[in-house]
Each structure stands twice: as structure tokens, then as C-alpha cells.
Amino acid sequence: MIGTVVGVVTSVGLVALFAANLRYQFYDRTARRQRSALLGLRSQYRMFSPIPGRTDLHLVVRDYDRDGAPRPCREVPTTPLRRWTHALWNPWKRRWLPLRPLVVELIGIGAALEGHPAAIELTTPYLVLLGVVSAEPADGDVRARQFLVVHSFGHEPEEPPAVLFCSAVHRLDRTTAETG
């Protein structure tokens, strides 16, 4: 009997917290500042994320063939397909986990060093991302690769994607012997 009461009280409390959190998810900061706080509590909180992400970042590569002609862009997957077993064991997470922070850091560095492209190419995020995109498989006649960071707005189709960062074109070193 007491276990049922505790379960009901806990469930009601969690639902109330969730409902209160949903209320504040849909207001912008200025509208929330203008409202008076209930019981003097600060109303600028978010249970799930302090600053929720409203956009998506994509790592995109463009290959160039022997003649220097660009091929269509394609997205590099930054997270592999997940399986339920990854909740228990996921050793490959270490490869994919730092990619998003590196992309975000590269965008900041690119804005700060906008007039100095050689300095951007020597930063750690640039070199790591260059290594990731260079390791992606390529056709045999691909000789160079360029990567871009593209910003999209998820569920807002009226906003077109925007390129936030565009790298230089880098030659791919293929160690296989060429035929022909």
C-alpha cells in the first residue's frame, strides 16, 4: 500500500516538473525576463539543455578528380548508426564523440582568423577534421578533397543551409600504384 502511494506521488511530481519545464521551453529569454517569477523562483532554467540547439551542423566533403573538376558534395557521417547494445558497450564512441566540439571550435577559430588562412590550416581542429575527411573512402580517380561545415535549420525548411567554413583543397596521397 505504501509503495503504491510513493509511486503515485513520485509520478505526479515528475510529471509536474516536466510540464513546468515545457512551459519555459517555448519562450525566448527576453519574454521570460519580463514575466514575474512564480514564488520568487528564477524562471530562466532548462532541465534538458541550458542553451538548446536549434540548428544542425554537417561536415561535407567535395572531391576533385584528375582533371580538377569538382564532384558533388556529400556529407560525412559524424555519428554511426546506433544499436541498442551501444548503451552497454560502445568503444567506437571515442572516435566520433569529439567531432562536434571540433567543428564548433573550428567555426570560432575561422571567424577569429578570417584574414589569415594559413594560420587556420595549422590549428588542431582543422588538422584533425582534415584527417577525418581524408580517411573517408574515395574513388580511384579522386586526387584532392575539400571539406565544408554547413549549418542547417532542422525542421525549418524555409531557411536555406549556409556554409560556415570552407577549407582549402588538399591533395589526397594515395599509396596504391596507378594503372594505365
pLDDT digits (tens, 9 = 90+) for 128-149: 999 989 888 888 888 999 999 9
Burial 4-24 (b: 16+ CB within 10 A, else e): eeeeeeeeeeeeeeeeeeeee
Q: Which amino acid is located at 83 in the chain? A: R
Per-residue pLDDT band at 10 (split at 50, 70, 90) = very high
- Residue 146 pLDDT: 94
Q: Are residues 80 and 122 in the same domain?
A: yes
Q: Are residues 71 and 131 in the same domain?
A: yes
Q: Are residues 29 and 63 in the same domain?
A: no
Q: Are residues 90 and 34 in the same domain?
A: no
pTM > 0.85: yes or no: no
Q: How far apart are CA 120 and CA 165, in angstroms?
A: 11
- Residue 174 pLDDT: 63
pLDDT digits (tens, 9 = 90+) for 74-110: 998 877 777 888 778 877 777 777 888 888 899 888 8
Q: Are residues 10 and 71 in the same domain?
A: no
| Number of separate domains in the chain | 2
